[in-house]
Amino acid sequence: MASLPLSTVAITNISSLSRPPRLPQPPHRLTISCNTSESHPGKVDRRNLLLGMGGLYGASNLILPGAAPASPIPAPDLAKCTRGTNLNLRQPLDVDCCPPFSENALDYKLPSATDIRVRPAAHLADNAFIAKYEKATVLMKALPADDPRSFMQQANVHCAYCNLTYDQGGADPSNKLQIHFSWLFFPWHRWYLYFYERILAKLIDDPTFALPYWNWDNPKGMAMPSMFVKENSPLFNPRRNQAHLPLTNPPPYADLRFSKKSSTPQDKVVPSNLTEMYSEMVRSAVNLEDFYGAKYELGAKPDPGAGTVERGSHTAIHAWVGDPNSPAGEDMGNFYSTGRDPLFFCHHANVDRMWSVWRDLRGSKPKEFADPDWLDTSFLFYDENAQLVRVKVRDTVENLKMGYTFQKVEIPWLNKRPKTKARVRKLKVAEESSAPKATDASVFPVKLDKVVRVLVDRPKRKRSKGEKEKEEELLVIEGIEVDTSEFVRFEVFVNDEDDGPSDVIDLAEYAGGYSQVPHKNAANVKSKMRLGLTELLEDLDVEDDDKILVSLVPRDGGEDITIGGVKIIYV
């Protein structure tokens, strides 16, 4: 069997894969961390955003100077992996997803990317590719249970990194690592798919093999890919929402603003999905932090704030696929079990593609975080040779350097800038509203078990084109507190007269949504979300107004959501 190229620098020899007894926690020591701020480099003028398309996904990046002293999160200590903790109940999880143990790791160096692997769109994949993918998955599932490359061990990789099983590495051993809800979301999942893909490729002795991506941002690919539905296929999983299987003509389309209680009607899913994608990828994704997620460094608490794609389409697909009749939305609908469904990897291949598409939209040399807290954060994975390797975020920025790209398809949401609901100016909506001001002490915090409307002051009005290019106007929903064991979703509208959730969001009044995949390490956390206003206010023709009406509309689990405040900032 041919071996895929690998280049590493040995630190020490790899030990046995048997796991030793858990080691005691280290003594407390001084925590060193960097201050965070609302501002990060990398803002792009949306007027130039759509001009950067062309060329392969993943063009060269430009690292900016001026980074602060770093306190990046180190790779976890596998010896201290635990079952994790349900923070609400203060008890261990009932799932052990710790990996096979190895004392030491190798520092991974990306092989030379000579032959670029092409990840195909799942709905365009031919029978030969599907047969190859099925064979590789059969072989992965046939590996011994303690082989870190086996299917269940690979599924547990996601469980371990996402359910507070690892110490974060700082002074406080109770502060656990979480790679969601922050700027680590895209790079960690890119590494995860990278090694999963290489394991499959080696098992079938085909270094050109690449994972398919579920093209759910395109109407032609919005249905669940048929290759995952055949019951005799290794790609099949019975723990899925049976109502969403592609067994009818036309098949059900994935709902990118899915809610168990108020999902989008199928005849309105396509325009709703395209508006959601435009919001996530263009309107609210001008700044690096808004797309990637908020800064998360050593000593920080989990969930500082998810990026647009993570809290939107990414989460919606997880919930849409997960089995509503299982205890907690398993498999795709819960963090601990989601990797047990082969469809997870196809879904996240498209999430990974969104990162590459977004960078392409920003031109040939898009700016990136210069912060070593991001670039030097490291993780541990087992590679295709069952070798434990240490990797860093800095090596994930360009997918071409990692040796793969994506089959080109049309991107219809690029031309779906939403329209206003009415031709009249939306000024009177705020002027005539009896809603309280967001600054009133009696308003927040508020439970989102009903629609909440507030008037929000705009500190800057009548901004010039130059001022808009320099600073994005952002609506910040802060102090978002949720029970992480539950699926929740709420949406935000500006100057909208409707009292409840809209069936379709292909309207300029829609600012964005917040949703969350449930996970077993239940904890009440406080987070935030930022939504771009500059283009939205232009479309509503209210740029000169001194206030806007903001509606927070619960769609699922509102009784489990508390909002701490709403304000406008300029970044």
Catalytic residues: 158, 180, 189, 314, 318, 335, 348
- C-alpha 547/C-alpha 570 separation (Å) is 15
7-9 and 106-109 strand pairing = antiparallel
Residues near 314 by beta carbon (within 8 Å), at least 6 away in sequence: 347, 351
Distance of CA 410 to the CA centre of its chain: 22
Answer for the pair 374, 188: CB distance below 8 angstroms, yes or no.
Answer: no
Residue 519 is labelled as binding a ligand = no
Determine the residue type at 183. Answer: W
Determine the residue type at 284. Answer: S
Residue 123 is labelled as binding a ligand = no
Q: Which of 118, 330, 344, 336 is nearest to 228 (CA)?
A: 344
Residue 180 is labelled as binding a ligand = yes
Q: Which of 317, 313, 223 is nearest to 274 (CA)?
A: 313
- C-alpha 138/C-alpha 133 separation (Å) is 9
Cite the beta strand spans of 74-193 per DSSP E. 85-86, 91-92, 106-109, 117-119
User: DSSP label at 390?
Assistant: E
SS3 assignment for 170-221? CCCCCCECCCCCCCCHHHHHHHHHHHHHHHHHHHCCCCCCCCCECCCCCHHH
Residue 348 is labelled as binding a ligand = yes
User: DSSP label at 242?
Assistant: G
- C-alpha 340/C-alpha 323 separation (Å) is 13
Answer for the pair 335, 163: CB distance below 8 angstroms, yes or no.
Answer: yes
State the DSSP H helix or E strand holding residue 535, giving kind and residue range, or none if neither. Answer: helix 534-540
Q: Is 423 exposed, middle or buried (0-12, 13-18, 19+ CB in 10 A)?
A: exposed
Residue 158 is labelled as binding a ligand = yes
- C-alpha 291/C-alpha 310 separation (Å) is 9
- Tokens 């704030």 locate to 305
- C-alpha 109/C-alpha 129 separation (Å) is 29
Question: Can you say which residues are annotated as belonging to the binding site?
Answer: 158, 180, 189, 314, 318, 348
Binding-site annotation: residue ranges for Cu cation: 158, 180, 189, 314, 318, 348
